Amino acid sequence: MKLVAAIDVGGTSIKGALVDSQLRIITTASAPTPQGDVDGSKSIQVISQLLSNLAAPGEINAVGLAVPGSLDEAQGLSRWSGNLQWKNLPIQHLLEEEIKIPVAFGHDVRTGALAELRSGAAQGFKNAIFIPIGTGIAAALIIDGVIRSSDGFAGEIGHVDVGGAFMCVCGKKGCLEAASSALAISNAYAKASGTVGVSSEEVAMLARSGDALAKKIWGDAMQSLAKACQLLITILAPEIIIFGGGLSQAGDSLLSPMQSFLNDSLTFQRVPQFAIAHHGAQAGTIGCAMLALDLLASENTK
């Protein structure tokens, strides 16, 4: 059976998984993302080490690499990533040169959407939006049954102005990502309470248990997220909006504020369903493995 490795580069950690052709995850490994790695060399070393932790030399037939930010997928280029500080970096080619294994390249959010579309919460829908929320926020747009990205530029919902008070990694103030990402929620709580290191999950938990400050911080973050969803609904008319990433583990604490804000603010628009990703925080990994397996299949038919 063919084995592939899925490598998902996030702002905080690089997650690796060894996956078989039935999309079963055999083993996983992760490492912190090198910070300020502008030429990508440290990240490539970390990925290379992860691959040798996942499998013996020669066992991995292809690698699916997913990265965040604005990409040129056809050219294997990271155009810009605020969290990784990459600019016009030919990361696919650089990695391939180092590891000597074929690399399929994709956007972290669109690979997650691919997993949800083929075998998850978007299955059976022609128009869906997948929004993973972790260190950053972006959206994958499934329109008329196809994941659309407008040459890799579209979907950067994390950088629409929702009128927030915080500075964003993109250099502007008020972005959704600076208001509602897992990192932003943790930072906002730290700023308001003076207690550093409380995670967004813990803020959600505190809010559920009635803590007034946590309720305010969580509520503000959800309101900003709902505003961004309203924009997406009005422009793109999805049938379903699927939340993924770490923050989606909040489940109903995330879904019900969306539902109630939008019940009050939509007028003529098509009202979408809301759901949590079927593959959970694994959507990106499964999608990456799908890309790698697609690459192997295309090489076999050449």
Residues that bind Zn ion (CB under 5 A): 159, 168, 170, 175
CB 192, CB 203: distance < 8 Å: no
The nearest distance, CB 283 to Zn ion, in angstroms, is: 23
The nearest distance, CB 85 to Zn ion, in angstroms, is: 14
Q: How far is CA 235 from the centre of its chain?
A: 21
| 274, amino acid identity | F
User: Which residue matches tokens 């309720």?
Assistant: 215
The nearest distance, CB 159 to Zn ion, in angstroms, is: 4
User: Long-range contact list for 199-205, CB < 8 A, 24+ apart?
Assistant: 200/246, 200/247, 200/250, 201/246, 201/249, 201/250, 204/250, 204/253, 204/254
CB 17, CB 28: distance < 8 Å: yes
The nearest distance, CB 14 to Zn ion, in angstroms, is: 23
Beta carbon nearer to Zn ion, 168 or 183: 168
User: From CA 217, how far away is CA 70, in angstroms rounded?
Assistant: 29
Q: Name, in order, each residue with C-beta under 8 angstroms of 48's C-beta and a sequence gap of 6 or more.
A: 98, 99
Q: Name, in order, each residue with C-beta under 8 angstroms of 45's C-beta and a sequence gap of 6 or more.
A: none
What is the 8-class DSSP label of residue 18? Answer: E
Q: Quick count: other Cβ atoms within 10 Å of Cβ 206?
A: 19
Beta carbon nearer to Zn ion, 140 or 169: 169
Beta carbon nearer to Zn ion, 231 or 276: 231
The nearest distance, CB 95 to Zn ion, in angstroms, is: 27
Beta carbon nearer to Zn ion, 176 or 226: 176
Beta carbon nearer to Zn ion, 82 or 120: 82
The nearest distance, CB 12 to Zn ion, in angstroms, is: 17
Beta carbon nearer to Zn ion, 58 or 171: 171
The nearest distance, CB 134 to Zn ion, in angstroms, is: 15
Beta carbon nearer to Zn ion, 31 or 170: 170
Residue among 133, 130, 223 nearest 186 (CA): 133
User: From CA 121, how far away is CA 219, in angstroms rounded?
Assistant: 25
